[in-house]
Amino acid sequence: LPLTAESGLRVVLVRARNPLNIGAAARAMSNFGFSHLRVVNTYNVPFREARSAVGASEVLKSAEEYANVADAVADCHLVVGTTAAGHRELRHPLRRLEEGGQVIREEMQTHRVAILFGSEKVGLTNEELSYCQWLLHIPTREEHTSMNLGQAVAVCLYELSREANVTSPARQPEPATAEELERITAALIEALQTCGYLSSEVTPLTKEKMRRLVRRLNLSSEDAETWLGMLRQMSWRP
């Protein structure tokens, strides 16, 4: 089940200065199925530019503008700020994305949740952070904690949609059956005998080796057929 408008997440960009970053954040939202973007701007030129860009997403077009953080999060039950690290905001609990994402995922099923992303240069101010119940940080290398805004949004939204749809892989080819693999093993041995790699008397030990060798290929059924055809051709004595 992809997360939709009903999921209750509000992505709040606070004083983003680069229209490209605003556009990238909106694109990631669209990729991961989040539709409610809010922008807090005292200076609204970057947002206007992002919105008027060619290919601006529906998310961007329907974004809502607010004059301050208080208004932007007023209707939200959980407000989470993002931070590069816990150097400053000692008054807030700090959660890594893996753990905090779990809390947000659960909460957003029933309530409106806001995630705040600060400006590119300075992040969120202490005043803006004061509206947050706790802070989220993406686990980065200590020597380089500052992420690009659009990438930080993408990573957070990936994590939030991550477990909502954990399934088996979308499409895996049908694996080859043991019978098919055994036919291939036989064909391989025969081909190796044809070329003189193996003698005409093959020991049980050698057969086992070849069998394991073939199993480690992880062949699909379709590929097994191809391989069988090739090996049989190789074992044909002219």
Residues interacting with its own copies, by CB under 8 A?
A: 2, 20, 24, 27-28, 30-33, 57, 86, 93-100, 137-142, 144-148, 150-152, 154-155, 158-159, 161-162, 165-173, 220
Angle between helices 19-32 and 149-162 (to 10 degrees): 10
For its own copies, the closer of residues 38 and 137 by Cβ is 137
Residue 171 Cβ vs its own copies, minimum distance, rounded to whole Å: 5
Residue 154 Cβ vs its own copies, minimum distance, rounded to whole Å: 4
For its own copies, the closer of residues 145 and 193 by Cβ is 145
Q: What is the H or E stretch that residue 161 is in? A: helix 149-162
Core vs surface per residue 103-130: b (16+ CB within 10 A) or e: bbbebbeeebbbbbbbbbeebbeeebbe
The pair of structure tokens assigned to 64 is: 């809502």
Tell which residue, 154, 113, 105, 111, has the closest CA to residue 132.
113
Residue 30 Cβ vs its own copies, minimum distance, rounded to whole Å: 5
For its own copies, the closer of residues 42 and 172 by Cβ is 172
For its own copies, the closer of residues 98 and 208 by Cβ is 98
The residues with which 80 forms a beta bridge, in sequence order, are 115, 134
Residue 146 Cβ vs its own copies, minimum distance, rounded to whole Å: 8
The pair of structure tokens assigned to 50 is: 């992002």
Residue 105 Cβ vs its own copies, minimum distance, rounded to whole Å: 14
Tell which residue, 84, 83, 98, has the closest CA to residue 134.
83
The pair of structure tokens assigned to 32 is: 């991961």
For its own copies, the closer of residues 20 and 234 by Cβ is 20
